Structure 1
Amino acid sequence: MSEHLQWDSALSFIFAMIGAAVGLGNIWRFSYVLYSNGGGSFFIPYFCAIAIMGIPFLILEYGIGFSFKDSFSKILNKIDKRFEYVAWMLVLFAFIVTIYYLVILSWDMVYFLSSFTFSWGSDTIGFFTNTVGGGSDFANAGVLLIYTTICVVLLWIALWFISHKDVDEGIGRVSKILIPALFIMMAIIVVYAITLPGHMIGIDALLRPNWKMLLDINIWLAACGQIIFSLSMGQAIALTYASYLPENSRLTDNVLVVVAANSFFEIFTAFGVFSILGFMALHSGMAMSKLVSEGTSLVFVVFPMIFNIMGPVGRVLAPLFFLAILFAGITSALGFFEPMLSSTSSKFNFSRSKTATILSIIGCCFSILLTTGISSYLIGIIDTFVNQFGILLLIAVQCVIFAWFYNLDNIIPILNEHGHLKVGKTWKFIIKYLLPILIFAIWIYGIYDLFMSSALFEIIVDVIIIVGVLVSSIVLTRIKPKNNEN
């Protein structure tokens, strides 16, 4: 790369990392995982997963990125030239996440704009299926959801505008605005939610512990899975962002700040989500179990239904809610985009601006292909496969590469130099033995579940993705770049 990239301060890095970690999953996934995996008792495996997986692996990523100060693909190439294939596979998977993530954000953007007039009406399921996210009817595969398409293009323009600038002027500056704004908006929503009649119905349902479930291995695997994706572990985001850190950075301290902020946000948000669901349960007489759902159904079907019955307050809460999701999503999308941007720019000696432009055009074209009448069905397939197969496997492979093919003793002094949290033999044991075993176990479990429940069309989509990623990673590894920037 022709320019040296660096955050102007640790604060820019921390806000960017919090932005990458705090995303859609914190708002619509965590509360469901908590509710369906033992309620209050789930916090035991949750915090164990943070201590055993989240913190140790993020420390590793920070240490590697900070030590090499290079792109992910070049770092793995320096460890062993053969590992560059692995690097490109991971950043390509992260780029695919960016592509469909912006489509989901475009749904939210449509809802944000609709929230001023409540144009979703009383049939919230029909509005989502017919206007925003489509369904699983292949007869609608050729129909373009025009509002979603327009919002996708606008979001890609926004992503390009932020990413084509130097990291501090773009990602750093935007994160320092959006993350405080996000926390303030979510605080307003949650504080109001816990004043609603029936809020304790929701909170009780959320936190009621089921201690027997702690004996179920699936609960522990669910906690590990939540931490992996909540903290964006092993997706080259933390490693890439850490490579831009200035000297004398407190690496381990930064890890603790980011992990604490991420956990606080998703736990705090869960109280708000379930308080609102409790209000709906009281108002409608429906059981909590019938209202609780994961992901798009909760946010784009159940919540608009609730805002409809809230009266004037719903008119304020709805735009605030969808705007908060938009802010959380944009900062996460910047994180998913950065590893591909950094690695491509570094490999081909392109300027950051040129690389961002090329990748944004490519990404936008693919995103538009996902805005048809089967948008939500297709994205569900891609999301499940990319996360359960691709990213999880490559996180485990990274563990093996960094622990067994790179001398961890090289980065321990760097990690311990300025941080208050010191690492040593216990940390090395976790990285070398415990983490690879745990992540491979989660991967095997996920793959079994994935292929046992997949229809033929879903398997075809999965095969197309893996072939595309493998071929692209081979091409990107073997191609010889020009020495001078074009």
Structure 2
Amino acid sequence: MVLSIVPPRESRCHLGVGLNGKCVADEYRPKGTNKSARTECFIYSEMELQFDPDFQFKLAYPETPKSNSSIKTRMRGQWSSKVEFILAVAGQIIGLGNVWRFPYLCYKNGGGVFFIPYVVFLFTCGIPLFLMETALGQYTSQGSVTCWRRICPLFEGLGYGSQVVVLYSSTYYIIILAWAFFYLFSSFSGELPWASCRNWWNTENCVEFDQLEGAQNRSFMENASSPVKEFWERRVLNITGSVNDLGSVRWELALCLLLAWVLCYFCVWKGVKSTGKVVYFTATFPYVMLLVLLIRGLTLPGAINGITFYLYPNPARLADPQVWMDAGTQIFYSYALCIGCLTALGSYNKYNNNCYKDCVYLCLLNSGTSFVAGFAIFSVLGFMAFEQGVDISVVAESAMMPMAQLWSICFFLMIILLGLDSEFVGLESLMTAITDMNPNFFLQGHRRKLFLLAICVVCFLIGLLMVTEGGLYIFQLFDYYSCSGMTILLFAIAQSICIGWFYGADRLYENIVDMIGYRPLKLMKYCWKYITPVVCISTFVFSLVKFTPLKFNNTVEYPWWGYAVGWWFTLSSTLLVPLWMVYAVLATPGTLRQRLHVLCTPSSDLPSTAQRQKETL
């Protein structure tokens, strides 16, 4: 990078940023300007650069209107095409929660009737917040921290808090990939190791499902253990009997974890240049696998019974508040809301990208995938119930499909790719937020790659705690407290208040109009200002009332230090929002009224819109 101060030939110096010694500003030189007049890049003055770090991104010639965004885009990178953005977002939001959690919630909460609260939350919270975050990223071309700094500095803590959540989730979510890799490698065998009781880790109580079907002894039934359960507890985890006993590291799982982190690193190490290419495979191949599993499942005997069980409505369940809570929680989890990932991905879009249409299509794709995945899962459950001669609600843990090894490989490969997408896109959003906070430092040389490597190494070392013999206890602490529904709801409430009442729902709406060229559904701005915060506050209060401390397997209580660690996970992210507000007010000069005015005023270098020009006049 070349930065130099020289005496100007015109009335004042100019600024440009050049890569590899070339002045990028020459490409935007006004017609008639002698190119030989400038052989390097220039800055206006040391004082301006000192007080305005963003100033270095401005073009060398102030007469040129398209100054700020073009140079910033070159420095940050940009999606090569809209398809890359769509696939990256789809990879982030469509994960394990769609394939397994949504069908389970349907089964748990009244079958087809669960779609009613789900759709209500989708249109009052899901789509509005999804559009808000994506549009903010596209409008500001910034990650989740500097985005809020430019929109409303008082709420910059939202960015810091959300990235703490991303860091926690990246640390523990990848453990699922390690387990999936272990199962995938175990599938390459003559007989699936969890299909029988003829293995060294099985106990005397191990009973295969065909033997269990013919068993009449009640005490035998109560003590029986399936080969699936024993493979999980005794072969994969070798789980200890106490929370206080972590045991030793499971080296096979540790190697699987290392493999997962290596894959994630190389998916992200070049920023969107690498991420945008990887998602062509990682985001599409799971759909191929899901389609194959769906077709195979529908052809199995008993599949229709499973699908009927999946969709059969129980209207009485609508009166249960927990059903509505589960629907809202599923929307926030499956749409990756309020953790900054959508903002980061949207920031690599072109300014005039139709983010509104993209958001609607992506939301429909997400929910549609969840719905279709239910058919694939419950068709197989119907087959399992048919094979065992029992009702689906009491189906045992296993039954073998024909060509079981092949379907096992396909299934776990799909799980790995779904999880890998969510993991490395979340990691990309974290790196985007960090890089945008200090682009001068991180965009020079290999600093970004080295910092990413440091994050991966630290997270891997922490993750080793979760691949010990007692690691599942730590994993559940991460899962229950670090990314809890209450944390996400608090961020959603703060986001809605910031945009609806400080920055202005009308202003963001006009920003979107300026970007896409037409007016989206006006319901969006009413949701940002009124409906979404009310729904989120109501859901948060209900979850607070219903909150119960974590118990392992719903039976074993954690020691005091376990709950202390859990609450640290929760408070270390959520408290950053009010703590930043206090710090910002104290650090800003002037009277209290002047401080609040400065902290609630958007940055002056945001893109011009008709609305802002009208306000200026």
Are positions 1:356 and 2:452 aligned together? yes
Q: Distance in 1 between matches of 2:545 and 2:518?
A: 38
Alignment of 1:285-434 (within 5 A): 285-291=389-395, 302=397, 305-306=398-399, 309-311=400-402, 313-348=403-438, 349-351=441-443, 352-385=448-481, 386-417=483-514, 422-423=519-520, 425-434=522-531
The number of equivalent residue pairs is 464
Percentage of identical aligned residues: 25
Partner of 1:255, secondary structure, is helix
Report how far residue 136 of structure 1 moved. Answer: 6.3
Q: Structure 1 residues 471, 427: closer, same or farther in 2, change over 3 A?
A: closer
Tell me what 1:279 maps to.
Answer: 383
> Which sections of structure 1, spanning at least 5 residues, go unmatched?
293-301, 479-486
The one-letter code of the counterpart of 1:449 is K
Q: Structure 1 residues 330, 9: closer, same or farther in 2, change over 3 A?
A: same
Report how far residue 409 of structure 1 moved. Answer: 2.7
Q: Which moved more, 1:102-111 or 1:218-227?
A: 218-227
TM-score with structure 1 setting the length: 0.89
Q: Which moved more, 1:340-349 or 1:97-106?
A: 340-349
Report how far residue 377 of structure 1 moved. Answer: 2.9
Tell me what 1:191 maps to.
Answer: 295
Tell me what 1:484 maps to.
Answer: none
Partner of 2:156, secondary structure, is helix
Partner of 2:293, secondary structure, is helix
Partner of 1:234, secondary structure, is coil
Tell me what 2:255 maps to.
Answer: 150
The one-letter code of the counterpart of 1:23 is G
Q: Which moved more, 1:211-220 or 1:408-417?
A: 408-417
Alignment of 1:4-19 (within 5 A): 4-19=76-91
Q: Is the 8 A contact 1:40 1:210 kept in 2?
A: yes
Report how far residue 423 of structure 1 moved. Answer: 3.0
Q: Which moved more, 1:255-264 or 1:134-143?
A: 134-143
Report how far residue 143 of structure 1 moved. Answer: 2.0
Q: Distance in 1 between matches of 2:324 and 2:108?
A: 12
Relative contact order (C-alpha < 8 Å, sep 6+): which is higher? 1
Q: Distance in 2 between matches of 1:194 and 1:32?
A: 18
Match for residue 110 of structure 1 among 153, 166, 182: 182
Please state which structure has a larger fraction of its residues in helix. Answer: 1
Tell me what 1:70 maps to.
Answer: 142
Q: Structure 1 residues 165, 201: closer, same or farther in 2, change over 3 A?
A: same
Report how far residue 335 of structure 1 moved. Answer: 2.6
Q: Structure 1 residues 92, 418: closer, same or farther in 2, change over 3 A?
A: closer
Tell me what 1:88 maps to.
Answer: 160
Q: Is the 8 A contact 1:393 1:443 kept in 2?
A: yes
Q: Which moved more, 1:458-467 or 1:419-428?
A: 419-428
Match for residue 435 of structure 1 among 532, 536, 540: 532
Larger radius of gyration: 2
Structure 1 residues 440-461: Cα deviation after superposition (integer angstroms, max 9, x where no partner): 2222333343335554534223
Q: Is the 8 A contact 1:102 1:152 kept in 2?
A: yes
Q: Structure 1 residues 402, 355: closer, same or farther in 2, change over 3 A?
A: farther
Are positions 1:32 and 2:32 aligned together? no
Q: Distance in 1 between matches of 2:152 and 2:338?
A: 18
Report how far residue 126 of structure 1 moved. Answer: 1.6
Partner of 2:180, secondary structure, is helix
The one-letter code of the counterpart of 1:103 is I
Q: Distance in 1 between matches of 2:363 and 2:129?
A: 11
Q: Structure 1 residues 129, 291: closer, same or farther in 2, change over 3 A?
A: same
Q: Structure 1 residues 418, 472: closer, same or farther in 2, change over 3 A?
A: closer
Q: Distance in 2 between matches of 1:115 and 1:62?
A: 40
Partner of 1:120, secondary structure, is coil
Q: Distance in 2 between matches of 1:315 and 1:396?
A: 47
Report how far residue 260 of structure 1 moved. Answer: 1.6
Tell me what 1:205 maps to.
Answer: 309
Tell me what 2:170 maps to.
Answer: 98
Q: Structure 1 residues 87, 119: closer, same or farther in 2, change over 3 A?
A: same
The one-letter code of the counterpart of 1:412 is Y
Extract structure 1 runs of 4+ deviating beyond 6 A. 470-475
TM-score with structure 2 setting the length: 0.71
Q: Distance in 2 between matches of 1:215 and 1:121?
A: 41
